[in-house]
Amino acid sequence: MRELYELCGAEPELVFSPYCWRVRLALLHKGLSFVSRPLRFTDKAQLAFSGQPLVPVLRDGEAVVSDSLAIFRYLDQRYPAKPLLGDALSSARLGLIDQLIQHSLPAGLFKALVLRIHAVIDPADHAYFRQSREQKLGLPLEEFADPVAGQASLQQALPPLNRLLATQAYLDGSAPAAADYLVAGFFFWAWSLGEQPWDSDSPVGAWFQRLLGQYEAQLGPVKRAA
């Protein structure tokens, strides 16, 4: 049995972590079925078997792997067909893309999404979420949150993706692979939280719809926050 431990809201079907979405998309790419093991923030003790406290964790028979890119690497080693990472050079470039994207996308999106996250998580998670995030941010969630500024920050980050996707269907070329999934994780984060802070008529919007359509054709509708 293949199990994906992932973050959920008060409703266990509402999974929204961008890093868990990366793994869902990678499993779909490989054609591998899995059972979702949704956890709330305060269920972290259930990850003790993985030796660390963060989702996503993939348990695949005897194998236990955490961290989205490590899971991509594991999947390519265990199931070589339909590579996600590619050869050593492709894999190194994916590492650079991940650094660049982590620097440009999540901060603005978090500003846009943080109160949505607070609204969808289980009440049991509220204290943990607020305390851990306010400590990192250095200010109350309500002062940090700013959907307009967050969307503006995202818009600043999208031109390079739009330019590339105006000329090719996927970030990784004519077919999607790991670069698409590691970027798309952030878009599924917003989408599952009920938001879409990008233009659906843009190349990025069309690319997201293609990935969403492929996902939903195989795994059914994505649960979205109301």
C-beta atoms surrounding 52 within 10 Å:
11
Question: Helix axis angle, 178-192 relative to 18-30, nearest 10°?
Answer: 130
Using CB under 8 A as the criterion, what x/- string covers residues 73-92 for binding a second copy? ----------x--xxxxx-x
Extended strands (E) in 67-167: none
Cα–Cα distances in angstroms (integers) from residue 184 to residues 2, 75, 78, 139, 161, in the given order: 22, 18, 23, 29, 11
- Spacing of C-alpha 5 from chain mean position: 13
152 interacts with a second copy by CB under 8 A: no
211 interacts with a second copy by CB under 8 A: no
Residue 56 backbone phi and psi in degrees, to 5: -80, 150
User: By CB neighbour count within 10 A (0-12 exposed, 13-18 middle, 19+ buried), where does 1 fall?
Assistant: exposed
Q: Please, what is the minimum distance in Å from the beta carbon of residue 30 to a second copy?
A: 16
94 interacts with a second copy by CB under 8 A: yes
Nearer to a second copy, 10 or 169 (CB): 169
Contact 64, 53 (CB under 8 A): no
Nearer to a second copy, 43 or 98 (CB): 98
Interacting positions 155-194 with a second copy (CB under 8 A): 159-161, 163-164, 168, 171-173, 177, 179
Interacting positions 36-75 with a second copy (CB under 8 A): none
Nearer to a second copy, 159 or 213 (CB): 159
97 interacts with a second copy by CB under 8 A: yes
Q: Please, what is the minimum distance in Å from the beta carbon of residue 95 to a second copy?
A: 6
Contact 134, 141 (CB under 8 A): yes
Total residues contacting a second copy (rule CB under 8 A)? 29
Work out which of 33, 52, 77, 102 binds a second copy, going by CB under 8 A.
Answer: 102
Which residues of this chain interact with a second copy, rule CB under 8 A? 83, 86-90, 92-97, 99-104, 159-161, 163-164, 168, 171-173, 177, 179
